[in-house]
Amino acid sequence: MPLPRALPSILSLDDFEDAARRRLPRPIFGYIAGAAETNLSRDDNRQAFSELGFVPRVLRQVSGRDQGVDLFGTRYATPFGIAPMGISALSAYRGDIVLARAARQAGIAAIMSATSLIRLEEVAEAAPGTWFQAYLPGDIERIDALVDRVAAAGFKQLVLTVDIPVSANRENNIRTGFSTPLKPSLRLAWDGLTHPRWTAGVFLRTLARHGMPHFENSFATRGAPIMSASVLRDFSARDHLNWEHVARIRARWQGQLIIKGIMHPADAALAREHGADGIIVSNHGGRQLDGAVSPLRVLPEVARASGGMVVMMDSGIRRGTDVLKALALGAHFVFVGRPFNYAAAVGADAGVAHAIGLLRDEIDRDMAMLGIVTPAEMGPGLLAARGQPGQALIPRENG
């Protein structure tokens, strides 16, 4: 089946970014691409991968390669999934459903975001097996009601993102004209006029078929519309949250509980003590604390402190080689964010499927050239720090 017109020239996940830049209005693209303050953490997410090189094995009979992995009792086709991304329905029509549906068809994991504009029940119906990511509301009653709603919708994995006690300083949003709530302006109108495919295919189509988008899943009840001043109030009051709230959710939630935003080994140990089934090592794609190191830099220590939990990672992954480096340092699975958002904006379901296929094919080739046939064989002995010839990152275990 031929690819849509925009996709044959896209050969890597990075290529989607330039294509999305042309298609999306500047404020929407800026919201996705930007990070906090100086973008130091976002840039370090990529830099950390470049500081590691491979030490491949040869003549290993790798014809039987299988990159599938088992996670929480489910077999996934690859060791990567789609990270949660807020307001995806502003970059692609019904974006949350597009992402979740493409992931399900490819046999990979996807996490929908609490700051989505489509009801979680609709996503669960369109793509059973999707995970749900929640930000904890500000009071116990709302927390309990949200947890119950997620369970009633049929989700089995609840991902608590815990690295937003306060809103980040995202100067990039202001510079590109994005605000929460969205504010009508001449600049926003001009961006819409100069991007007619987005205006007609996403914004006006959404208004005509579904009305003004609301934040649908921050609470058990419907949240504010994206142009309402009450949006800011809805996302406040998180600075008092603590591990007692996690314990309460663990007692109430019967599925897998995953804590996202872990960067310190001590917090990994606390997550285990409070009943988490897994953690996601993450600096929020560099969108929160500017100056936080890349998750890849702390991954080995966090994995050692995990005590048998499932360890996952996101932030900065763009290539199959990145996926395998993360697996070598202790991750069981990784998540990729921005590139899949761009892919949905560029090509809807076909765009996301193309992005998944590109990354999956890279991993297959990389595994063959590294001399491994399963992701479980990827260990630290196949890595070396660049600039230190012959010196493994830590003692080799793949000899």
Query: Catalytic residues, which ones?
Result: 284
DSSP E strands, the chain:
52-54, 69-71, 74-76, 80-82, 111-112, 131-134, 157-161, 256-262, 278-281, 310-313, 333-336, 383-385
Flag whether 284 is marked binding. Answer: yes
Flag whether 315 is marked binding. Answer: yes
Flag whether 85 is marked binding. Answer: yes
Flag whether 9 is marked binding. Answer: no
Flag whether 74 is marked binding. Answer: no
Flag whether 316 is marked binding. Answer: yes
How far apart CA 392 and CA 55 sit, in angstroms, is: 8
- Helical H segments across 371-389, by residue range: none
The residue among 358, 364, 356 whose CA lies nearest residue 340 is: 356
The residue among 382, 318, 361 whose CA lies nearest residue 46 is: 318
Sign of CA dihedral 178, 179, 180, 183: negative
* Torsion-angle region of 94 (φ positive above 0: left; ψ -120 to 50: alpha; else: beta): left
How far apart CA 377 and CA 394 sit, in angstroms, is: 16
Flag whether 84 is marked binding. Answer: yes
Contacts of 350 (CB under 8 A, 6+ apart): 3, 4, 7
Flag whether 391 is marked binding. Answer: no
Flag whether 332 is marked binding. Answer: no
Flag whether 387 is marked binding. Answer: no
Flag whether 272 is marked binding. Answer: no
CA angle 52, 47, 361 (to 5 degrees): 65
Flag whether 260 is marked binding. Answer: yes
- DSSP annotation of 4: P
Flag whether 318 is marked binding. Answer: yes
- DSSP annotation of 102: H
Q: Are strands 52-54 and 383-385 parallel, antiparallel or unpaired?
A: antiparallel
Flag whether 113 is marked binding. Answer: yes
Flag whether 342 is marked binding. Answer: no
Flag whether 314 is marked binding. Answer: yes
Residue numbers belonging to the annotated binding site for FMN: 84-86, 113, 133, 161, 282, 314-318, 337-338
Residue numbers belonging to the annotated binding site: 31, 84-86, 113, 133, 135, 161, 170, 260, 282, 284, 287, 314-318, 337-338
Residue numbers belonging to the annotated binding site for glyoxylate: 31, 135, 170, 260, 284, 287
